[in-house]
Amino acid sequence: MKSETVRVSFLGAAGCVTGSRYLVEFQNYRFLVDAGLFQGKKELRLKNWEEPSFDPGKIDAVFLTHAHIDHTGYLPLLVKRGFKGPIFSTAATSDLLALLLPDSAHLQEEEARYANMHKTSRHDPAKPLYDLVDAEKALKLRKTILRDEWQEPLSGIRVLARAAGHILGSVHLTFDLGGKVINFSGDIGRYDTPMLPDPVPTEFGDLLVCESTYGDRLHSHSDMETELEHVVKGAAARGGALLIPAFAIGRTQHILYVLAELERAGRIPVLPVCVDSPMAVNSTSIYSKYNFDFDADAKAIIDRGDSPLTTGRMTFSRTVEESKALNNLKGPRIIISASGMMNGGRVLHHAGHLLPDFRNTVLFVGFQAEGTRGRIIQSGAREIKMFGRHIEVRADIKTISGLSAHGDRDELLRWLSSSEGAPKKVRIVHGEPESSQVFAETLRERFSWDAEPAVLGEMLEI
């Protein structure tokens, strides 16, 4: 029976890569798929403050594809505005949320404090979007769904979650609503990424909502292991520190995995490796906890009795004192610290300490957005302003590109063509306008699918 209408509204990640939020209405149910924050440019961030087009108190549930803040950071605000329903996700996503939501609340509170101190807000006093209490309340609503088997967490709402290969715990979601099939891709990862399974195929039906972050581009397929081997050997030969600014969740574990592999293969010397960010320390232990979710290569390492994320001389620093003590170390060593773009966090005090010395190396392993300190240093600046001082940049600056948690155009196409059936309708989301447009065209040409970029606020009746 395919009589009942399903309504899907696009409340975010339409024409941009953040703020993933989709409202699904079916029978008497209203639920959200993802509840993300808009991030980046100010005009986007201001959207977080807008009144939602729905009553949060009347939302029955939220289903999450993965833990990234642009998919989950709206949850505390939803709760603040009256949402009380369950938040369904995989167990790993649920654990990562317990790190990410309080951190996001902390950043919101910091921002408000900064605005009050510098009088940069129109509002006096400036208030945070939400606070720690709201984040804690949201965490209490978490409920786990299993992967790879159809579940019916609400009567009449059937859902199938399958690995998306993007970050630990990430899935794409297939809903069966009274016989109508709606797919949400979430963020689709890359094939052959360390630890993570490849994106698992699904079955398409009436509507596919598909991401397009790199829908118009291909990643460079450079040999990351060999590049990292050369950088580590070079840094060790100079006798100084190798500082790697990296996102705490995902990228840090990727780097640790490759460093450990290179060490075991005898391709690099066993140097002290310090993971210096409380979030990175905690997320690394969550990765280890869910090692049964790892891909076959990582499981083989575990079966041999090794730990895929542990290098020979690895230490963790949780406290600021432990972090500052790293400044007293001498000789070749590796420090992995956040934030990944050097726009905040502990990595800054390391950078201030290490940049002026030509023996040290800074390695960028992620995209450096325009305007960030990371981008300025990566572009070859000889001097950088930090802590109100001018710091000379004499360290060796290296970049390894092509590391991404997102599949490129061909990887997205690979996932789509590995899945069964053809979606009757496709809406392209989670991409810059150009990328979404090009990807929609690609799907029309390759598969003759009815594909269009989603428009913010649009509602489809299926």
3-class secondary structure per residue, 148-167 = CCCEEEECCEEEEEEECCCC
Interaction of residue 190 with Zn ion, rule CB under 5 A: no
**Contact string (CB under 5 A) for Zn ion, positions 271-310, x = contact:** ----------------------------------------
Nearest residue relative to Zn ion (C-beta): 68
Residues 201 and 183: beta-carbon distance below 8 Å:
no
**Of 10 and 449, CB closest to Zn ion:** 10
Residues 6+ apart with CB under 8 A from 306: 260, 264
Q: Most distant CA pair in the chain: distance in Å?
A: 71
**Should residue 180 be labelled a site residue for Zn ion when binding is judged by CB under 5 A?**
no
CA distance 6 to 25: 6
- My answer on whether omega of the bond before 89 falls inside 30° of 0, hence cis, is no
- State yes or no: residue 211 binds Zn ion (CB under 5 A): no
- Per-residue exposure over 408-440, b if at least 16 CB sit within 10 Å of its own CB, e if not: bbebbbbbbeebeeebebbbbbbbeeebbbbbb
DSSP 322-357: HHHHGGG--SSEEEEES-TTSSSSTHHHHHHHHTT-
187 or 411, CB closer to Zn ion?
187
Q: 68, 254, 353, 430: which one contacts Zn ion (CB under 5 A)? A: 68
Count of residues in contact with Zn ion, rule CB under 5 A: 2
Stretch of 114-122, 181-189, 245-253, 377-385 contacting Zn ion, by CB under 5 A: 181-189
* Spatial CB neighbours of 134, under 8 Å, sequence gap ≥ 6: 76, 77, 79, 80, 105
Of 185 and 317, the one with the shorter C-beta distance to Zn ion is: 185
Shortest Cβ 84–Zn ion spacing (Å)? 26
The arrangement of strands across the sheet holding 207-211 comes to 151-154, 157-163, 171-177, 180-184, 207-211, 425-429, 451-453
Shortest spacing between CB 334 and Zn ion, in angstroms? 26
> Looking at 60-68, 109-117, 306-314, 328-336, which segment touches Zn ion (CB under 5 A)?
60-68
Smallest gap from residue 289 Cβ to Zn ion (A): 20
Q: Least distance to Zn ion from the beta carbon of 187, Å?
A: 4
Task: Please give the Cα distance from 386 to 352 (Å, whole number).
Answer: 7
Stretch that binds Zn ion, among 136-144, 183-191, 313-321, 381-389 (CB under 5 A): 183-191
The values of phi and psi at residue 418, to 5°, are -80, -20
Residues 73-112 that bind Zn ion (CB under 5 A): none
Listed ranges 62-70, 131-139, 246-254, 257-265: which one lies at the site for Zn ion (CB under 5 A): 62-70
**CB closer to Zn ion, 187 vs 229:** 187
Q: Which region among 100-108, 179-187, 193-201, 216-224 touches Zn ion (by CB under 5 A)?
A: 179-187
Least gap, CB of 404 to Zn ion (angstroms): 11
* Residue 150: burial class (beta carbons within 10 Å; 0-12, 13-18, 19+): exposed
How far apart (Å, rounded) are the C-alpha atoms in residues 80 and 283? 26
The amino acid sitting at 387 is F
- In angstroms, the CA 206 to CA 328 distance is 60
Instruction: Report if residue 350 touches Zn ion, rule: CB under 5 A.
Output: no
Q: To the nearest whole angstrom, how small is the minimum distance from the Cβ of residue 96 to Zn ion?
A: 11
CB of 169 to Zn ion, least distance (A): 11
Which residue is it, tokens 């101190």? 117
Q: Interface with Zn ion by CB under 5 A: which range of 94-102, 187-195, 274-282, 411-419?
A: 187-195
Stretch that binds Zn ion, among 61-69, 364-372, 424-432, 440-448 (CB under 5 A): 61-69
Taking the C-alpha atoms of residue 38 and residue 296, their distance in angstroms, rounded to an integer, is 35
Q: Which is nearer to Zn ion, 68 or 333 (CB)?
A: 68
Which is closer to Zn ion, CB of 19 or CB of 240? 19
3-class DSSP assignment, residue 38: coil
Structure tokens at 252: 């840090």
Pairing relationship of beta strands 383-386 and 389-392 according to DSSP bridges:
antiparallel
Quote the least distance from Cβ 68 to Zn ion, whole Å: 4
How near is the Cβ of 66 to Zn ion at its closest, in Å? 6
Residue from 187, 206, 216, 261 binding Zn ion (CB under 5 A): 187
Q: Which is nearer to Zn ion, 95 or 261 (CB)?
A: 95
C-alpha atoms less than 13 angstroms from C-alpha of 100 in its C-beta half-sphere: 24
**Closer residue to Zn ion (CB): 16 or 301:** 16
The residues that touch Zn ion, with contacts defined as CB under 5 A, are: 68, 187
